[in-house]
Structure 1
């Protein structure tokens, strides 16, 4: 399932030795050159260069929600390219695909979120949200409101500002935007709420946030940014009522609430958007990407309230923000086709059943000796491994337990994502019951194999 690309005679594969791969151990790749080469995909499966068919347990990277090789999306992209390959949405130019997708997102987004700015990644969507809010407060005559509240364990992207909003572990040894970001406590009851009930832990989190706001000064704080469920920080589900309580706190202090739905939107939790429908919070901005096109084209959206838009558009002067490929015709066409397919096949509604089945099957693994916690919701799940279950003692980093379980799973036909002592599952949303059973069985066998080797 891996190929030494340095010795391959295939020109395409050999060229991969020149690729700088994201979030990889570059030194290790330089030493042995071993990579898993994905050459094809269909439905919920991918195929590697050795001909192995693998369940795509990470959905490409949280994103292939509608499944691979859907003709509806491919044909929409092709037709769009044959009609209008590219034109920008700068100045007074627009085109039907971007305008149509913006209207559709405004229809799907909760409450008063009716204005859409497109980018090409979740990182850009989150950077855009901050830039827009800074400009918004400048126009309101409140130029000091620039600080941003984030959280330990958050992941908001890897651009210079987005990585600053991300939990510090992801920027170790790297520089980032300084002086703007304040990280509140991680809302992880199992790890951080020792001796407290979930309700007591929620109270402690809100008290911590209130204390930090008052110490910084609400007059200096632009916004709070939060994922409904933390993704790359380890699949952290906050205590029940957390987002609604944080939303109320932000309103009390006149702080804008940004919901980072780059991962949770477009069906992963059973709804097109999870903020209001699942977590009972009405954001001022929602950012999204990944599942917006099911990964078929790079596209993101920063969806803002009418109130924010009225301020930033209320005076003369250019909106000095945007990317060349914002609202790219082919990407927008992919988004429209993806949403139409999801509505036709009722994918979010189906996930409310199949996703809970997947969640339940994975939670059954909690009885295994080295499984400390199984957490998440629907098709967004994490399994944390521990050396001592009762004491919640983690394995050492050098034990690479998550990687070992992922490798054991891949041998059996499942791609899962290791994250230190955690294994992450974020599959396509088109898994049926038989495939869910197969996935759970592979995970059980793989964990047992690693467990027995310790």
Structure 2
């Protein structure tokens, strides 16, 4: 790992602080502390401008699945730039990578999900799903079927409609959402189920809540249900066994489309190219994906539609009418070339196999942290994990938010050469899928030290 050219880190830090509005910025500290300037990377590690090296425990943002700085990816991207860096795919034009990647996604996706619409990321993929769903029902002569159901603590993006479907209430503070179009049902979080309630009863209760919500809103008004196979930014919530199959059955019963948001779970994070069928036994009507589609090397998202939906939306509405949805960068050839190469690497190197094997080891090793006094739950699957920290492991009472426990743990980890993601009282882990046993052992050891250091801090300051 070496810098390719000299960098004036102090100048970059200043430029960033003065001019760059970051996503999810904490302005209470940003104007004073600014940002850590990252300058280099290699496989599972990144390096800052001061030469400090870190194991990236969050894979960029759930996305650097094949690892950093792959020369093969750089070459594929450069080759496409030299050949044809851009052409509009509006109407009857295409490029080789856009067509090739669409065919590959249709091959990999479950069931008859054979039709791909491209955008620039997960939020746009979900907004596209809503717009196409509304168009679909209009074409069927059901113009009232417009309402969307999401879940509390579900996350679907930060564009207007995607954030409206998102049920992480913290993300709505100070911003508007469309409360007329979208309704939410409860989060299927087994860790927070009532004491004494079985997993089976909890699952049935949540499934019944979906049916009750559809009936309350009116089946003729409800268009779609959006669900992540495993809820990511809401705390890595794995629903109880059978939840997805049963909610899909409810949707089928009332003619509600099922959208599986695989922006995080697709492309190996759970050991499969797509998790909906392979991990949870369902074939949804639509899958949205992004992130691992290019392993974060270039922006790209996709909305994958079933044959049934495509058959309806691909019929001309009237003489001269066209399908008026799309973006300047839909099917961008360089991004699509990155997607083609990314999947080729994943298949050739059996990266899903490593995610299954090493992900199982990662999951087991993280669960050894349950002996620590504030670790209430370690949950997730394979390379999509979360540690929930609590004040009392019996009552599951939370630590005072003023303690910023997730941030404290993340800070201690960073000082020891590991980056983890704080989410309030939780810490999320979604490393590159190329982690080996040595990497896992380092990550878990640093987490243990950092949580122990945090416990000492909290006791010293009267939070525990």
Taking a change above 3 Å as real, the CA distance of residues 229 and 9 of structure 1, as seen in their structure-2 partners, is closer
| Counterpart-to-counterpart distance in 2, 1:412 and 1:295 | 25
Match of 2:388 in 1: 384
Match of 2:5 in 1: none
Match of 1:44 in 2: 44
Match of 1:5 in 2: none
Encode CA deviations 1:329-377: one digit per residue, 9 max, x unaligned.
1100000000000000000122111001001111111111100101100
| Counterpart-to-counterpart distance in 1, 2:146 and 2:196 | 36
Match of 2:447 in 1: 443
Match of 1:94 in 2: 94
Match of 1:3 in 2: none
Question: TM-score when scaled to structure 2?
Answer: 0.95
SS of equivalent residue, structure 1 residue 443? helix
User: Does the CA-based 8 Å contact 2:164-2:177 persist in structure 1?
Assistant: yes
For residues 76-87 of structure 1, what are the structure 2 equivalents within 5 Å?
76-87=76-87
User: Does the CA-based 8 Å contact 1:395-1:421 persist in structure 2?
Assistant: yes
Taking a change above 3 Å as real, the CA distance of residues 193 and 73 of structure 1, as seen in their structure-2 partners, is farther
Encode CA deviations 1:281-340: one digit per residue, 9 max, x unaligned.
110000000000000000000000011011001124211111111111110000000000
| Counterpart-to-counterpart distance in 2, 1:417 and 1:261 | 20
Determine if the alignment matches structure 1 residue 60 to structure 2 residue 47. Answer: no
What 5-or-longer segments of structure 1 have no aligned partner? 1-7
Match of 1:192 in 2: 193
Taking a change above 3 Å as real, the CA distance of residues 169 and 12 of structure 1, as seen in their structure-2 partners, is closer
Moved more, 10-19 or 421-430: 10-19
User: Does the CA-based 8 Å contact 1:297-1:334 persist in structure 2?
Assistant: yes
Determine if the alignment matches structure 1 residue 426 to structure 2 residue 427. Answer: no
User: Number of residues paired by the alignment?
Assistant: 446
Q: CA deviation at 1:452?
A: 1.8
Match of 1:368 in 2: 372
What 5-or-longer segments of structure 2 have no aligned partner? 1-7, 459-464
User: Does the CA-based 8 Å contact 1:113-1:284 persist in structure 2?
Assistant: yes
User: Over aligned residue pairs, what C-alpha RMSD do you find?
Assistant: 1.0
Encode CA deviations 1:175-219: one digit per residue, 9 max, x unaligned.
122311110110001113432110010011111111111111111
Determine if the alignment matches structure 1 residue 16 to structure 2 residue 16. Answer: yes
Match of 1:307 in 2: 308
| Counterpart-to-counterpart distance in 2, 1:27 and 1:383 | 25
Taking a change above 3 Å as real, the CA distance of residues 199 and 41 of structure 1, as seen in their structure-2 partners, is same
| Counterpart-to-counterpart distance in 1, 2:290 and 2:9 | 36
Question: TM-score when scaled to structure 1?
Answer: 0.97
Match of 1:182 in 2: 183
Q: CA deviation at 1:262?
A: 0.2
SS of equivalent residue, structure 2 residue 220? helix
User: Does the CA-based 8 Å contact 1:386-1:393 persist in structure 2?
Assistant: yes
Moved more, 436-445 or 190-199: 190-199
User: Does the CA-based 8 Å contact 1:186-1:192 persist in structure 2?
Assistant: no
Taking a change above 3 Å as real, the CA distance of residues 401 and 246 of structure 1, as seen in their structure-2 partners, is same
Q: Where does structure 1 differ by over 6 angstroms across 4 or more consecutive aligned residues?
A: none
